[in-house]
Amino acid sequence: MSAIDKEKIVSSVPQKGFFGHPRGLFTLFFTEFWERFSYYGMRAILVFYMYYEVSKGGLGLDEQTALSIMSIYGSLVYMSGVIGGWLADRVFGTSKSVFYGGVLIMLGHIALALPGGLTAFFVSMVLIVIGTGLLKPNVSSMVGDMYAEQDDRRDAGFSIFYMGINLGGFLSPLIVGSVMGYSFHLGFGFAAIGMFFGLIMFLITKKKNLGLAGTYVANPLSPAEKKKVYLVMAGAVVLLGIILAVTIPTGLLTIKLFIALVGILGFLIPTIYFIVMYRSPKTTEVERSRVLAYIPLFLASVMFWSIQEQGSTILANFADKRTQLDIAGIHLSPAWFQSLNPLFIILLAPVFAWLWVRLGKRQPSIPQKFSLGLLFAGLSFLLILIPAYLGGTNSLVHPIWLVLSYLVVVIGELCLSPVGLSATTKLAPAAFSAQTMSLWFLSNAAAQGLNAQIVKFYRPETEMLYFGIIGLSAILLGIILFFVTPLIQRQMKGVR
C-alpha cells in the first residue's frame, strides 16, 4: 500500500468521536470486546472441563495432558493468524476477514455448548482456531489503518483498544465461571452469544465509522494466482484428511507427538516469515532494517507470553488445587481468577495511555518498554515462590498471592503488549502489513507451544524450582534487552 493510499484511508475515517480518537475505534473496540468476551469466557473453564471427571460434567482427561492441550490450543489459535493475515493481505481484505472469522468462532462455541464429548471438543477447536486466525490479527491491523504514520495518538489508541479487549475478558469469566458448577455447556453457550453480539455490532457500525479501513487488499492475487492457490489449498485439506485418517487409528499420531509438532511449528513458521519478508523484492531497504529490529522484540515477546499465558494453565490449576477458595463465607470459583488480569488492565490501561501521551518524546523507547515488560513478568512468578517458601507446597495458600502475581504481570503487559501492537504497525513492510500483525501474534503461539512442554515439569514438589527458573530467566533477558536498546533503535530507522 502506497503512502497516498494510506492517506486516503486515514482521511476517509472520521478522526474525532471516541475519546478524541477516530470514530472507528468505537466499532473495533466493541467488536473486539464481544469477541474477547466469547474467547476468554470459553478459556476460563476449558482446562477444568478437560480434566474434571465425567461425573462432574468434564471430559475426564489426565491433568497434565489437559494442561498441555490447553497450551497447544492457545498456540494454534495464534498460529492460525498467519493464514488469516495472508488471506487478508492477498484475498479478502481485513474487514471481510474479521466478519468471516467471527462467524466461525461463534459456530465453534456452539459446538462446545452441545453435549458431544471429545468429538464436539475437537470440532470446536478447529472452528475457533481458524476463526480467531481470521479475526484477531486483522481487527488489530484495522486499528492501525485509522492513524497517520506519525500520529502521536497511535500508542494511546491501541491502549484504549486493549482496554476493550480486557473489559470483555473481565466480565466473561465471572459469568461463565458462576455457571460452571451447574453445566460447562451452559457456560460455553454464553460464549457463543457473546460472539453473536460482536458480529451484530460490527455489521451495524462499520460503514459509518470505518470508512475505507479494512476494505483494501494490500497485495492482491491475480486471477491466475487465485486459481492456483485455491487448488493448492483444496489439495492440502484433502491430503491432511487422508494423513489424519491413517495415522490416528493406527496410533502413529499421538497427542504427545502432536503437541511436539505444534511446538516446533511455533518457532519454525515465524523464522520462515522473517526470511520471506526480509528477502522479498517488495521490501525496501528501510523496511529490511526494521524487520531486523523486530526480531529481538519478537523473542522478548515470546518470553513474556510464556509467563503471561500460564495464567490460564499453571495458575488456573494453582487456583483450583493450591488456593483457599472459601473466604469469609464466600466460595470462589477457580475460574474467577481469570478475571484478575483483564480487571487490572481496565484499571491501569488509562493510566498508561495518559502516561505515554504525557511523556510524548520523553517516553521510553519501544525496546526499553519491552525490557520493563520482561522485568515485571519475571517478578510475577517470583512472587508465587513466597507462599510456597513460607507454608510449604502441601498447604493451601491465601488467594491474595494470586491477586498480586496477576497485578505485577499486568504492569509488564501494559509496557509490552499494546506497545508491541503499535510497533508492529510501524515496523511492518507495506506489502506484509496484515501478515506482520500475524507475526506478532505468532510470538504468543511460540510461547504457548513452548509452554506445552514446560507445564509437564510442574508438580507440587517442583513448584519453587519451576517458578524460580522461569522468573529469573525473564528478568535476565529483560536486562540484556535494555543494554542492547541503542543497537535495536538504530535498525528501526526513525521509528521510536
Strand partners, 289: none
Strand partners, 326: 331
- Under 8 Å between Cβ of 176 and 187: yes
Distance CA 424, CA 127 (A): 27
Q: C-alpha grid cell for residue 394? A: 502441601
Please give the average pLDDT of every successive group of 10 residues along the chain, which has 496 residues.
Answer: 62 70 83 88 89 83 87 86 81 86 92 85 88 84 78 76 83 89 87 90 83 76 80 85 80 80 88 88 84 90 94 89 86 90 86 81 86 95 86 81 94 88 81 76 89 87 88 94 88 72
Distance CA 14, CA 340 (A): 34
User: In Å, what is the CA distance from 492 to each residue of 310, 331, 370, 423, 489?
Assistant: 31, 51, 15, 10, 5
Least Cα distance to 84 among 125, 124, 130 occurs for 130
Q: What is the mean pLDDT of the chain?
A: 85
Q: Which helix (H) or strand (E) holds 325?
A: none
Burial class (CB in 10 A: 0-12, 13-18, 19+), 299: middle
Pair type for strands 326-327 and 330-331: antiparallel
User: In Å, what is the CA distance from 353 to each residue of 1, 133, 169, 254, 455?
Assistant: 29, 27, 19, 46, 34
* pLDDT value of residue 4: 44
Q: What is the CA radius of gyration of the chain?
A: 22
Q: Which residues 6+ apart lie within 8 Å of 186 measured at CB?
A: 113, 179
Looking only at Cα atoms, what is the longest distance across the chain?
Answer: 68
* pLDDT value of residue 479: 94
43-63 confidence digits (pLDDT tens): 889 988 998 888 788 888 888
b/e string for 316-350 if b means 16 or more Cβ within 10 A?
bbbbbebbeeeeeeeeebbbbbbbbbbbbbbebbe
* pLDDT value of residue 2: 47
3-state secondary structure of 330: strand
Domains of the chain are: 16-219+251-491 (1.20.1250.20)
* pLDDT value of residue 413: 92
**Helix crossing, 463-483 with 366-391: angle to 10°?**
160
3-state secondary structure of 143: helix
- Under 8 Å between Cβ of 90 and 220: yes
- Under 8 Å between Cβ of 306 and 75: no
Burial class (CB in 10 A: 0-12, 13-18, 19+), 428: buried
Q: C-alpha grid cell for residue 80? A: 492460525
Distance CA 265, CA 320 (A): 31
